[in-house]
């Protein structure tokens, strides 16, 4: 989408049309909606239920319907997989929360905070993400170094 908008902008500017900026802004209008959708991603957990707001869909899961919680890999459309907190339902199927930290330590802390609100009947599954989001990654080490300096 962004590539299309940039290409349209460059074509209209190159043509030198007097309406080039107006015409070039038209492909950018869907990006506003996409940005709003991206900022709605969240996970709210209470002692009664879990609310998972993903990019397109919202799930309301009472704790009585959740059998297990674990961290699995969620496949994004057009993107690589990412770690996501998974809620396996008693009726079958699982709901993945896009609002899961990428790095391993914050991801486990996040899962522990959600499990603290869960009833004792909810089982815990291991993190199956392996090296994805590892704390040993260069980007994480650089971020830690930079945050300690500033």
Query: 120-148, pLDDT tens digit by residue?
Result: 889 888 888 776 766 666 666 676 677 78
In this structure, is residue 9 part of a structural domain?
yes
Overall average pLDDT of the 89-105 stretch? 88
Give the number of domains in the chain: 2
pLDDT bin (cut points 50, 70, 90) of residue 79 is low
Are residue 76 and residue 121 in the same domain, yes or no? yes
Q: How far is CA 72 from CA 4, 20, 29, 117, 126, in A?
A: 33, 46, 34, 20, 9
| Calpha distance 64→48 (Å, rounded) | 9
Q: Is residue 45 part of a domain?
A: yes
User: In CATH, what number is assigned to the domain containing residue 100?
Assistant: 2.30.29
Same domain? For 47 and 24 the reply is no
Q: What is the pLDDT of residues 23-74, one digit of tens each?
A: 666 666 677 777 777 788 889 999 999 999 988 899 999 999 999 999 888 8
Does the residue 144 lie in any domain?
Answer: no
Is pLDDT above 70 for 110? yes
Does 65 share its domain with 97? yes
Report pLDDT for 114. 92
Structure tokens at 106: 């914050």
Residue 119 lies in a domain: yes
Same domain for 62 and 124? yes
Q: Which residue has the tokens 């396996």?
A: 88
Nearest of 51, 47, 71, 72 to residue 61 by alpha carbon: 51
Mean pLDDT of 97-126: 88
Residue 150 domain flag: no
Tokens 């059998």 identify what position? 67
Determine the average pLDDT of the residues in 81-96. 89
Name the pLDDT band for 89 (thresholds 50, 70, 90): very high
Same domain, 117 and 94: yes
pLDDT of residue 9: 67
Task: Judge whether 148 lies within some domain.
Answer: no
Q: Is residue 143 in a domain?
A: no
Residue for token pair 């709605």: 40
Q: Are residues 32 and 79 in the same domain?
A: no
Ranges assigned E (strand) in the chain: 42-45, 49-53, 58-62, 66-75, 81-89, 94-97, 123-127
Q: Which domain holds residue 113?
A: 40-129
Same domain, 96 and 53: yes
> Rounded to a whole number, what is the distance in angstroms from the first to the last CA of the chain?
36
Residue 23 sits in the same domain as residue 64: no
pTM assigned to the model? 0.69
pLDDT-derived band of residue 8, with 50, 70 and 90 as boundaries? low
């Amino acid at each position: 989408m962004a590539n299309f908008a940039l290409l349209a902008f460059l074509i209209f500017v190159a043509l030198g049309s007097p309406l080039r900026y107006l015409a070039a802004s038209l492909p950018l209008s869907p990006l506003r909606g996409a940005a709003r959708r991206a900022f709605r991603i969240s996970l709210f957990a209470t002692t009664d239920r879990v609310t998972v707001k993903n990019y397109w869909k919202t799930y309301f899961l009472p704790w009585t319907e959740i059998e297990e919680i674990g961290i699995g890999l969620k496949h994004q459309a057009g993107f690589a997989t990412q770690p996501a907190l998974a809620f396996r339902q008693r009726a079958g199927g699982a709901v993945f929360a896009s609002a899961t930290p990428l790095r391993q330590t914050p991801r486990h802390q996040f899962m522990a905070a959600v499990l603290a609100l869960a009833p004792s009947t909810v089982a815990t599954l291991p993190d199956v993400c392996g090296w994805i989001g590892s704390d040993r990654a260069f980007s994480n080490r650089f971020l830690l170094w930079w945050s300690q300096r500033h």
